[in-house]
Each structure stands twice: as structure tokens, then as C-alpha cells.
Amino acid sequence: MAAKAEDASTAEAVGKAVMVVGIDDSEHSFYALQWTLLHFFSPAVRPSGSYKLVIVTAKPTPTSVISVASPGATDVLPFVESDLRKISSQVIEKAKDICAAHSVLDVEYEVVEGDARNVLCEVVDKHHAEMLVVGSHGYGAIKRAVLGSVSDYCAHHAHCTVMIVKKPKPKH
């Protein structure tokens, strides 16, 4: 009986389309998350809540952040690693707060190590997601020059619909 109940709940979970939201510690991605919750998960719009939400943040590898190979580099690695881990967990905590504020409860949170571009596409494939949401300029200042193209990469390579949410520029 317990197995049957489990099957039923998995079947229910499978029936829901999955939406993956990629976030990092930038304002843009939290804006994107809030926008998504507002327009896709509010009770007024979706009374049955027909998307399952997966929020993922990519944690860069410490070696990818330190690009200069210097004698002291290996000593710094553990500190960088714990910093990165702290940032990622703060990001997830904030995401949890935002979801709670919008009364969205059926959420899965993932921290995946690696480059954001690959991580997001992999998570999409893993969950067979229907939709991927990313902010624009969704990466920290260090890599923004290179990874302003995270949204680009995902728009081209993700195997699902991609939504790029931009923070509106303030009108002067």
C-alpha cells in the first residue's frame, strides 16, 4: 500500500511540468525569480499551481575563480571554497525567503558545482524541464564580462523554452 501511495505521488509529480530558475547572487536573478513567481505562481493566475519549481544556483569551482597560478594559490583554495559555499547557501536562503513570501511551497533547491552555463543546461535535462528562466546579467561582477553570455548560452543550448527576465532600467 505504501509503495502504491508513493507511486501515485511520483505520478503526480511527473505530471507537473518543471520550471527551472537559475539564480546567483545578483539582484538581476532575484528580480527574475520574483517576476516568475508573480506571473506564473500566484494563486490568481494558477490556482492549481501546475508547475514544479526547481531553483538552481551554480557554484563555481575554486580553481575557476583563481586564475593566476601563484605559489600561494593552493593555500588560498580552502578559503575561496568556503567563501563560494557561503555565497551559494546565502543565495539559496534568500531564494527560500522569496518563495515563502509568495506562498510558493513546492520548490526544489539545488546547488551544483560548475560553470553556470553547463549547470543550467544539465539541470534542465535532468528534470526534463519545460522551461528555464534566467535573469540577464545574471552573474557576478568578476565573470560578467565573460558570462553576460550565460543567458545567451542557455537560450541556444538548453533543450527547452528559455525565458530571459530583465530588470527594467530606471527611466531617467
Partner 1 sequence: MEESQAPVMAEGGGEDKKMKVLVAVEETEGSLYALSWALDNLFTSASDVPDKTESLGRLVLIHAQQPLQHFMHPVGPCMTDPHHPVYATSSVIDSVRRAQEQNSRNLLERATQVCRSKLVEAEMVIVDGDPKEMICQFAEQMQADLLVVGSRGLSKIRRAILGSVSDYCAHHATCPVLIVKPPKGNHP
Residues contributing to the site for partner 1 (CB under 8 A): 17, 27, 30-32, 34-35, 38-39, 42-48, 50, 97-98, 101, 130-131, 136, 151-152, 155, 158-166, 168-169
- C-alpha 120/C-alpha 112 separation (Å) is 9
Is the Cβ–Cβ distance between 23 and 135 less than 8 Å? yes
Burial class (CB in 10 A: 0-12, 13-18, 19+), 89: middle
The set of cell numbers assigned to 153 is 548560452
**CB of residue 44 to partner 1, shortest distance in Å:** 4
Q: H helices of the chain, where?
A: 2-15, 27-40, 62-65, 73-101, 116-127, 141-147, 150-157
Q: How far is residue 150's CA from residue 158's CA, in Å, rounded to a whole number?
A: 11
Supply the minimum distance, in Å, between the C-beta of residue 74 and partner 1.
Answer: 36
Closer to partner 1 by CB, 38 or 142: give it: 38
Using the minimum distance from each CB to partner 1, give the nearer residue, 58 or 165.
Answer: 165
Amino acid (1-letter code) at residue 138: G
Judged by CB, which is closer to partner 1: 34, or 89? 34
**In angstroms, what is the minimal distance from the CB of 5 to partner 1?**
25
Distance of closest approach, residue 91 Cβ to partner 1, in angstroms: 13
**Cβ-based nearer residue to partner 1, 56 or 160:** 160
What would the grid cell of residue 131 be? Answer: 522551461
Residue 36 or 88 with smaller CB distance to partner 1: 36
